[in-house]
Amino acid sequence: MKMKYIYLIFALLACSILFAQPTYMPVTTIAEDFGATWCLNCPLAWQGLQAVHSVTHNGEFISARLFTESGSLSNYMVDERFDYYNIIGLPNVIFNGKISLEGIGAGTADGTDYLNALSVYRYSASPVKIVPTNFSFERGLISGSVIMISPDVTISDARLVYYLLEDNVGEEDHIVRAVLYDENVSLSGIGDTYNFNQTFNLNPSWVVSNLWGIVFLQLPNKTILQCISSLPLPEYNFRAAMDWSRYITGDANTNYLSAPLWFFNLGAAENYTMHLEADNAPADWYFNYCDETGNCYPGSIDRPFSMSAGEALSFHLNLTVGSSAIVDFRFVVSSPHIGSYSIPFRYDAGTPVIDETNNPSALMINNLYPNPVSGTAVFRLLSPKNNDSATIEIYNVKGQKVQCLTAINLHNGINEISFVPDSSLPNGVYFYRLQNTSSKAGRFLLLQ
C-alpha cells in the first residue's frame, strides 16, 4: 500500500506538542473470579483465565480467586466481596468491576469469553497511576502512592482495595486470603497524591514465600480505574493506551486525524519498528500516521524507532478514507524481545451497498451507529418491501439471547430503528442478528 498524500491538521498536532506528556497510563485489568470448592464448573473458569494469562503478562492482566463456603479458603472478608457484587450464580468472573461473566459457555474453558472481555480494556487509559514503595509479606505490609496524572478528572469517595493472595494452596493458586480497604479516597489535579500504608494480619498457616498482593482503586459505581500487583513484570514491557474509542465511525471520502495514541515503554530501553496494516481496504484508502512533532509517515513502511526506559511517545492516525467500507486495521509494533504487539482499530465509513439502498433484495441490517454504544444507538435496516417487520436479537458472549428489538411497519429502503440497551446488561461485548435467519450472531456491538 503506497502513500498517496498526507493531510495535516496543524491545530490538533500543535496542541499535542504543547502537551507532550501523557495525561493517562495504560490500565492493568483485574479479573475477580468468584467460586467455591464445591462448584463443579468453577475449574473451567480458572482454566479459561489461565488461557488469558498465557498470552498476557502481569502488567496487562491479573486475576484473583475468591471462594465462598469453602472451609479454610473462605472468610468474612472474602464473603463481603460476594455481597458487594451481589454474586448469586457460580462461577462469576468480573472484569474491572464492570463486565460480569456468570456461568460457563462454549468459550469459557479455552478463554475466548474472557479474552473478549479483556479486549474491552486492553488499550484503555487510566487517569491515575499506582506506585508501590513496599511489598513486605513477612510483615504483611503494602505501601505506596496513588497519583493523579489527568488535568480533567476528579475522583471522589473512591475505595482503595487491598488483596493478600497465596499460591500453592494445595492445588490452587491466586487464592484471596484477606481483604483491606481505604475509604473515601479523593484526587483532583495533576500530581495530587494519596499515600497508602496497610498491614495484614498473617495467619501462621499461610506460607509467606507464597504470598503476594494486589492494590486497586475502585469508584462508587464499582469501576476499577487502575490496579497493580507485587508479581514480577517482564524486563521488556511495551504498552499502548488511548482515551478514545478504537471503533471509529465517520464519513467516506474524507480525511481523518485521530487524537493522540500513546506508546509506553515500561521496561528496559528497546529498539522497535512500527507500521500500519489493513484488512480488505478499498484501493482508495491510505493508512498513515503522524508523530507529536508533526512529522508524518506512510503506514506501509516498517519504520524503526527507539524508546528509553520509562519513555512515552504519541502518534496520530492520519487516514485518507475513500469509498464506503468498514475496515479493520492495526498498528503493529515489533522488537526482538516483545515480538509483535498489535493495536487493532476499525473505521466504519458505512457498509457498502450495491444499489440496494432503495431496492434491497432481502431484509438486512446495514449497520449500528454509534458502536460502541453508551446510550441510545440506531440500527439501520434495509427492507425489500413496505409494511415489513423485523426482530433483532442481541446475544452475550456465551451465546445467550439477552434482548430483542422488534420493528414494525418498515418501508422499502432504509429504516432507522432506535436501540436502547436493557439497563440490566453489563458493559461488554455482545453480538446481534436478525431473527429467523440461519446466520450466527456474528456482528458485534460494544456496550460502554
User: Model confidence over 23-57: pLDDT tens digits?
Assistant: 999 999 999 999 999 999 999 999 999 999 999 99
Which residue is associated with the grid cell 488511548? 242
* Cβ within 8 Å of residue 247, ≥6 positions away: 345, 346, 348, 371, 372, 446
CA distance 99 to 177: 23
Residues 297 and 156 in one domain: no
Residues 289 and 381 in one domain: no
Residues 264 and 374 in one domain: no
Residues 200 and 264 in one domain: no
Nearest C-alpha neighbor of 311 from the set 344, 259, 271: 271
Residues 318 and 417 in one domain: no
Q: Which residue has the higher pLDDT, 6 or 150?
A: 150
Residues 157 and 43 in one domain: yes
* 69 is a domain residue: yes
What CATH number is attached to the domain comprising 416? Answer: 2.60.40.3080
* 222 is a domain residue: yes
**Tally of CA atoms within 13 A in the half-sphere of 148 that contains its CB:** 18
Beta strands in 17-174 (DSSP E): 25-26, 29-35, 61-67, 92-95, 99-102, 125-126, 128-136, 141-148, 154-166
How far is the CA of 291 from the CAs of 67, 271, 346, in angstroms? 48, 17, 20
Range of the domain at 264: 10-22+243-348
Residues 225 and 250 in one domain: no
CA distance 263 to 285: 25
Q: pLDDT > 70: what percent of the chain?
A: 91
Residues 313 and 405 in one domain: no
Q: Which residue has the higher pLDDT, 53 or 395?
A: 53
* 437 is a domain residue: yes
Residues 15 and 48 in one domain: no
Q: One-letter amino acid identity for 310?
A: G
Return the DSSP state at 138.
Answer: T
How far is the CA of 190 from the CAs of 146, 185, 197, 290, 379, in angstroms? 12, 15, 22, 27, 40
Average pLDDT over residues 234-243: 97
pLDDT of residue 388: 77
Q: Is the pLDDT of residue 299 over 50?
A: yes
Identify the top-confidence range among 194-198, 240-244, 361-365. Answer: 194-198
Query: Confidence band (pLDDT; 50, 70, 90) for 400?
Result: confident
- Sequence length of the chain is 448
Residues 39 and 166 in one domain: yes
Residues 97 and 188 in one domain: yes
Count how many domains the chain has. Answer: 3
Q: Cis ω on the peptide bond leading into residue 336 (within 30° of 0)?
A: no
Residues 188 and 68 in one domain: yes
Nearest C-alpha neighbor of 411 from the set 388, 378, 391: 388
The last residue of one of the domains, among 348, 374, 395, is 348
Is 33 within 8 Å of 91 (Cβ atoms)?
yes
Q: What is the pTM of this model?
A: 0.77
